Amino acid sequence: MRSDIETAPRETIRETQSERLRETVEHAYENVPFYRQALDDAGVAPDDIDRVGDVSKLPTTTKEDFRMEYPDGLFAVDWDDVARIHASSGTTGKPKIVSYTDDDLAVWSEVVARSLVAGGVDSDDVVQNSYGYGLFTGGLGLHAGAEEVGATVIPTGGGDTARQMTMLQDLESDVLCCTPSYCLYIAEALEDAGVNPAELPLSTVIIGAEPFTDAMREEIEDALDVTALDIYGLSEIIGPGVSMECADAQAGLHIWEDHFLPEVVDPETGEPLPEGEEGELVLTTLTKQALPVLRYRTGDMTALTYEACDCGRSIVRMDNVTGRTDDLLIVRGVNVYPSQIEEVMVDLEAVAPHYRIDLRRDDELDRLEITAEHHHEYDGSLEDLADDIGATLRDVLDVSPDSIEVVGPSELERTEVGKVKRVFDHR
Ligand code: DLL
């Protein structure tokens, strides 16, 4: 059930993109005063955009623009034509409100269905969808895509882990969709309940909505005896289903580029980067009606490759997103990415994959404090383990943590609903 575009020659993909880019720019210019102004200010007319390569002439759109235009300033259709609203809350301020026409909802189901098919899901599967339903795009997005595939959907939503486990066991779910942190939580809860996950029919988990490292993915695959596949997306562009890893190769996420045009830019200068170089992902919608978005600065760090994948798809791939441009923590002037700390935590066998990072300012000096849980089978000294963690972190980071505390299993708070928070910057 692959669509033709997934294996089309590059020239065909470019033709489709060029035509749709022209239509999108025209639509945005005609119907969204914000874009008309932005293009006029940049001295770009819709007619200047002919081929897909012209996209870099367009000004970018930012998170801040969504805030300034709150709630509906970026909508390109009348409210009468808006079929659905979703929203994504940032860390500060008002949520970003996003809208869909009936056609947009159809495109969304299509791209999520393509994603699930790439993940090996078919109409015989039972899909337990544990992404939150409601304004968050995860629940309804995965739900519609799974229905489109013809699978049986169990809309558990996030939370109520006891019920999640009952469904997994009694309804024999083949596929579980949830955030990586919740996936680990469910694995732990199963173990606590004396259930051997290897005996469940579950074969695939579809994880996304928050960054995770390869080490974390392996932990999930081992704990649940499944294949863990990465699904990526963001509300501003559509929701989940912008890109997805295929089960065949598990080598990067296929971006459905007949609907979303990707670029990677230098996060500092905004200059486009060549294929293969890591930078900030910038996305332009190619078919969205209610909310066309030109060159959205996602804040997500990745790299693109146009090489055909072993699965046979020729469509562009992006690397797994392990961090965001705004993730960077500056501790006493030194750059630290939370993903560097995560890799160490997950690699150490005596440490459970649960940790938190606290940053404080004491007498004008930054303090980096790390709290980690030990693995439930570890029965050695907590001080020794803290020393081990410290030594490994000092090898990896350019700054030494000021304190490392090891606590017992399940002592750190878990996230059952929504996205996990591991970094607490109190400065
Ligand atoms: O998180 C959409 C989604 C739902 C994706 C379910 C996958 C599964 P937002 O709430 O708008 O939308 O958050 C979007 O989450 O810019 C990334 O920073 C992060 N993110 C999403 N998917 C991934 C992923 C949904 N697979 C923001 N890996 C994005 C890493 C991800 N980060």
Rounded distance from Cα 200 to ligand 1 centre (Å): 28
Q: Does pLDDT of 59 surpass 80?
A: yes
Q: Whose CA is nearest to atom 20 of ligand 1?
A: 209
Does ligand 1 come within 6 angstroms of the Cβ of 131?
Answer: yes
Indicate which CATH number applies to the domain containing 171.
Answer: 3.40.50.12780
Rounded distance from Cα 230 to ligand 1 centre (Å): 10
Rounded distance from Cα 179 to ligand 1 centre (Å): 9
Q: Are 280 and 342 part of one and the same domain?
A: no
Task: Tell me what pLDDT residue 172 has.
Answer: 97
Task: Tell me what pLDDT residue 25 has.
Answer: 98
Q: Is position 234 within any domain?
A: yes
Does ligand 1 come within 6 angstroms of the Cβ of 245?
Answer: no
Does ligand 1 come within 6 angstroms of the Cβ of 230?
Answer: yes
What would the pLDDT profile of 354-407 be if each residue is shown by its tens digit?
999 999 998 889 999 999 999 999 999 999 999 999 999 999 998 899 999 999
Q: Are 151 and 262 part of one and the same domain?
A: yes
Does ligand 1 come within 6 angstroms of the Cβ of 373?
Answer: no
Cβ atoms of residues 358 and 331 within 8 Å: no
d(CA 355, CA 179): 16
Q: Does pLDDT of 314 surpass 80?
A: yes
Q: Are 115 and 193 part of one and the same domain?
A: yes
Rounded distance from Cα 113 to ligand 1 centre (Å): 17
Q: Last residue of some domain: 306, 322, 338? A: 322
Share of the chain above pLDDT 70, in %: 99
Q: Is position 62 within any domain?
A: no
Task: Tell me what pLDDT residue 197 has.
Answer: 92
Rounded to two decimals, what is the model's pTM?
0.94
Task: Tell me what pLDDT residue 64 has.
Answer: 93
Q: What are the tokens at 211?
A: 């960054």
Q: Are 391 and 299 part of one and the same domain?
A: no
Does ligand 1 come within 6 angstroms of the Cβ of 232?
Answer: yes
Task: Tell me what pLDDT residue 37 has.
Answer: 98
Which residues are paired to 359 by β-bridges? 368, 425
Cβ atoms of residues 220 and 280 within 8 Å: no
What would the pLDDT profile of 91-102 be if each residue is shown by its tens digit?
667 899 999 999
Using alpha carbons, list the distances in angstroms from residue 366 to 124, 339, 426.
Answer: 54, 19, 10
Q: How confident is the model at residue 132 (pLDDT cuts 50, 70, 90)?
A: very high
Q: Are 312 and 249 part of one and the same domain?
A: yes
- For the chain, the average pLDDT equals 96
d(CA 110, CA 332): 47
Q: Does pLDDT of 115 surpass 80?
A: yes
Q: How many residues does the chain have?
A: 427
Burial class (CB in 10 A: 0-12, 13-18, 19+), 170: exposed
Q: Are 401 and 342 part of one and the same domain?
A: yes
Q: Are 311 and 380 part of one and the same domain?
A: no
Task: Tell me what pLDDT residue 42 has.
Answer: 98
Task: Tell me what pLDDT residue 52 has.
Answer: 98
Q: Are 236 and 285 part of one and the same domain?
A: yes
Cβ atoms of residues 48 and 30 within 8 Å: no
Task: Tell me what pLDDT residue 363 has.
Answer: 87
Q: Whose CA is nearest to atom 6 of ligand 1?
A: 138
Q: Are 180 and 225 part of one and the same domain?
A: yes
Pocket test for ligand 1, best of 108, 321, 328 (most atoms within 8 A of CB): 321
Task: Tell me what pLDDT residue 326 has.
Answer: 86
Q: Whose CA is nearest to atom 10 of ligand 1?
A: 88
Task: Tell me what pLDDT residue 93 has.
Answer: 75
Q: Is position 14 within any domain?
A: no
Q: Give the helix, strand, coil percentages of the chain, each rounded to 5.
A: 35, 25, 40
Q: Is position 414 within any domain?
A: yes
Q: Is position 38 within any domain?
A: no
Q: Is position 240 within any domain?
A: yes
What would the pLDDT profile of 230-285 be if each residue is shown by its tens digit?
999 999 999 999 999 999 999 999 999 999 999 999 999 999 999 999 999 999 99
Largest Cα–Cα separation, the chain:
69
Q: Is position 260 within any domain?
A: yes
Q: Last residue of some domain: 291, 322, 353? A: 322
Structurally, the chain folds into a number of domains equal to 2
Q: Which range marks the domain in which residue 193 is found?
A: 100-322
Q: What are the tokens at 138?
A: 């995860």
Using alpha carbons, list the distances in angstroms from residue 147 to 5, 142, 154, 243.
Answer: 21, 9, 10, 18
Cβ atoms of residues 326 and 335 within 8 Å: no
Does ligand 1 come within 6 angstroms of the Cβ of 32?
Answer: no
Q: Last residue of some domain: 267, 298, 322? A: 322
d(CA 409, CA 265): 41
Task: Tell me what pLDDT residue 91 has.
Answer: 62
- The number of the ligand 1 atom at minimal distance from the alpha carbon of 299 is 16
Does ligand 1 come within 6 angstroms of the Cβ of 242?
Answer: no
Pocket test for ligand 1, best of 181, 232, 250 (most atoms within 8 A of CB): 232
Of 356, 301, 325, the C-alpha closest to 181 is: 356
Q: Are 335 and 311 part of one and the same domain?
A: no
Indicate which CATH number applies to the domain containing 420.
Answer: 3.30.300.30
- 312 φ/ψ sector (left φ>0, alpha ψ -120 to 50, else beta): left
Mean local confidence (pLDDT), 190-219: 95
Q: Are 194 and 282 part of one and the same domain?
A: yes
Q: Is position 43 within any domain?
A: no
Q: Are 223 and 298 part of one and the same domain?
A: yes
Does ligand 1 come within 6 angstroms of the Cβ of 158?
Answer: no
> Would you state the torsion angle of the CA atoms of residues 180, 185, 190, 191, taken in this order, to the nearest 10 degrees?
110
